[in-house]
Amino acid sequence: MRNTPTILHLDMDAFFASAEQASKPSLRGKAVIVGGLGPRGVVATASYEARVFGVHSAMPMAQARRLAPNAAYLVPRFGFYRSISEQVMALLRVLSPLVEPLSLDEAFVDLEAGGAAWDEASARLAGAKLRADIRAVTGLTGSVGLAACKMLAKIASEQAKPDGLVVIEPGTERAMLGPMSVRTLPGVGPATGDHLRRAGIHTVEELAEAGEDELVRLLGKAHGHALYAMALARDERPVVAERETKSVSVEDTYDVDIHDRVRVGLEVQRLADRCVRRLREAGLSGRTIVLKVRRYDFSTLTRSETLRGPTDDPAVVREAAGRLLESVDTTGGVRLLGVGVSGLADYTQEDLFAQAAGERGQGAQDPGEDGAVEAVAAGVADAGAPVERRWAAGHDVRHAEFGHGWVQGSGVGRVTVRFETPESGPGRVRTFRVDDPELSPAEPLPLVPRAPGVAAAGEVRA
């Protein structure tokens, strides 16, 4: 472990919710909750104003609504968040070639490897500049932790929240960690925490005092050794620039259990197509198709099939997922379905396309029919009948007369839109028919408009 705090951990503050507040002037300073809005939805992110009411990520949305009934509830815009994340990651890569993203809003950076820092003073300056650059480029805030290892840098960024910077000076780690709960350490979840509590171990200091042998006895060899090292503030893990993608998957949780076997099959086909779209966006293909089914009683089944070679053909993935579904009993009802592809590669096996072509002749759906599949899966009895347009709360729209806005809500044939942009003040609210021809979906606007001639973060101009 190094003796300078040159490992940086960045964690964007309440990322999804903060992005929504920056995008929507009327929501700034107010409780905002982003996640699945159905009865079985969960909270993805809650703004700090919403956390005052006890709302937190992974909480059932129904519980969040009871705690904060007057909050703004929005459907995630992952493409929008991903575009902001790319700007932030570009700023990190200016600091060092060793950037290890953990998610859209979180990453480790080895400042020493990029020459951005070599001691505490230079590390503190690099962290402060990064926070200022993130605000200038994205309009959002991030919290920065600096320490001599990854574990401590992550703990420091948590202490820095929101919108702060904390440096853990080498030599002070044991004293800082000692009084903290064992749950502070990576790998100590609720089950491990309860196990340690029953053994009389509540703090990191008590964990260290218990000794390595006792922790191995309680938790097993690998976990016991690792936790003892962390209790002594030892973490030798390097910052790894590239984290290999092991699988690509999509899944949906349904507000009402699905009992109709035909509907289940159509949902699986739709999910397979979505999964393939994600594969192709990443420039990947895969050999192993995985089906996930969570039934009415919360029992979860997974089935997999390995193909002759990697593919990114939707018909092949649909057919494989359909075969896997045949082995699953869904008569009691289905709460969740998922389709994934693993065994990834950056090429495809050409002979599988011939296989797919043959299967299409036996009734497999063409990729262009995805919209029809979704219509039937959504319970539309007559695929030829007009389908009411759906407007997701929080998503962007444009009106021919009133300009850019976002959906506040919809129902009973009406959609309510607030017309405002990131640079405007709070806008006016208007209501339209859901099929109003002058209203259409729109792309999100940038939070910080780029001045003409100014390069994006990480972009080099000739």
Query: Tell me: the pLDDT tens digits for 161-194?
Result: 999 999 999 889 999 999 999 998 887 888 888 8
Out of 20, 49, 100, 106, pick the active-site residue. 106
Q: For 101-115, 203-217, 229-243, which range has the lowest pLDDT when averaged over its residues?
A: 229-243
- Between CA 53 and CA 214 the distance in angstroms is 40
| pLDDT given for residue 112 in this prediction | 95
Look at residue 181 and give its three-state secondary structure: strand
Poorest-confidence range of 71-80, 368-377, 413-422?
368-377
Does the pLDDT of residue 133 top 90, yes or no? Answer: yes
User: Poorest-confidence range of 344-348, 393-397, 432-436?
Assistant: 344-348
Judged against a pLDDT cut of 60, whether residue 320 lies above it is answered with: yes
In terms of Cα–Cα distance, which of 147, 189, 140 is closest to 163? Answer: 140
- DSSP string for 2-42: -SS--EEEEEETTHHHHHHHHH-GGGTTS-EEEE--STT-B
| Pairing between β-strand 247-258 and β-strand 72-74 as defined by DSSP bridges | unpaired
DSSP state letter for 428: E
> Would the pLDDT of 109 be above 50?
yes
What is the identity of the amino acid at 377?
A
Q: Residues 56-100: pLDDT tens digits?
A: 998 999 999 999 999 999 999 988 999 999 999 999 999 999 999
Instruction: Reply yes or no on whether 49 is catalytic.
Output: no
Return the minimum-mean-pLDDT range out of 56-60, 81-85, 360-364, 372-376.
Answer: 372-376
Contact 266, 383 (CB under 8 A): no
